Copies of this chain bind each other. A is one copy, B any other.
Amino acid sequence: MATRSGRGSMAAKKGAVGIVPETTEAPATAEALPSRERIVETAMRLFEERGYHATGIAELVKESGAPRGSVYFHFPGGKEQIAVEAVERAGARLAGRVRENFPKSGPEGKLDCDGALVAFLERVAFQVERSGFRAGGPLLIVASETASGGGLIGDACRKAYEGLATAFREALEACGCAAEAASSLALTILAAVEGAIVLSRSFRSADPLRRVAADLGVLLRAASSRA
C-alpha cells in the first residue's frame, strides 16, 4: 500500500547539518522524544494492552501527545505501518533483553543456562504483575490478530519471532547445547513463554509464568544431561 517510507524524511533531516548540535541524542524524558518516536512507543504500549484492532488512531494520538496532523506525515502507510514499526521495535528490544540476561558465550560450555532462563522469566513475571496484568507479550496479540491475513504486519511478527528464537538458540548454544537441540528448545521456550504470558494475564496471576519457568528449567537440565 505504502510505497514511500516515512523514514525518508527523517534521513533528509539528518542530512541537513549546521553549527547547531542537531538534536540531543538521548532526550531526558519520554515526552521530549520527537513526535514520530512518541507515536511508535505509544503504539507498542497500546497494541500490547488492547491489541491492534481495538486501538484507534485517535487514541494513539491522544495518549502519545503527538500532534494530530503528523501521523500520516510520518507514517504514510497509516496504521499498518505504525504497527509494523512497533512490532519490529518490540521484537528487537525483546531479543536484546534475552541476550542481556543470558550468560555470554564462555570459553567452555556448561554455563548456568537454566538458572538464567528462570531468572529471565522471573523478570517477565514481575513486569507483568507490576503492570496489573495489562502488559506483557507485545508481539503476541498483534501476531495472533494478523497471522491469518499474511499482510505486512504478519510478516513483521514472523521476523520478530525468528529474531527471538535466534536469540534463545544462541544463548543455549553458548551454554554448550547441541545445535539441533538448541534450535528446538529455543522454539519450545519461546512458545511456552508466550503462552504463559497469556495465561498469566488471563488468570491475573503470575503463577503460570513461574510454574512454566520452573518446568522449563527441568527441561533444560534434562536436555543438557543427555548431551
B145 adjacent to A141 (CB under 8 Å): yes
Q: Assuming A144-B141, A144-B144, is B185 touching A190 (CB within 8 A)?
A: no
Bound complex: CA of A216 vs CA of B158, how far in Å? 23
What is the interface size of chain A, counting residues whose CB is below 8 A from a CB of the partner? 51
A6 at the interface (CB under 8 A from B): no
Q: Assuming A51-B53, A198-B144, A201-B148, is B222 touching A208 (CB within 8 A)?
A: no
Q: Jot down 21 A-B pairs with beta carbons below 8 A, ordered by A.
A: A50-B148, A50-B149, A51-B145, A134-B148, A140-B144, A144-B201, A145-B145, A157-B202, A184-B215, A187-B199, A187-B208, A191-B192, A191-B195, A191-B199, A192-B212, A194-B194, A194-B195, A194-B198, A195-B195, A218-B222, A219-B219
Bound complex: CA of A154 vs CA of B203, how far in Å? 9
Find chain B residues with CB under 8 A from A162 CB: 203
Give min CB distance, A91 to chain B, whole Å: 11
Q: Which of A100-120 contact B (CB under 8 A)?
A: none
B53 adjacent to A147 (CB under 8 Å): no
Bound complex: CA of A195 vs CA of B196, how far in Å? 8
In the complex, residue of chain B having the shortest beta-carbon distance to the beta carbon of A208: B187
A145 adjacent to B54 (CB under 8 Å): yes
A202 adjacent to B51 (CB under 8 Å): no
Q: Assuming A218-B222, A219-B218, is B198 touching A147 (CB within 8 A)?
A: yes
Bound complex: CA of A198 vs CA of B165, how far in Å? 13
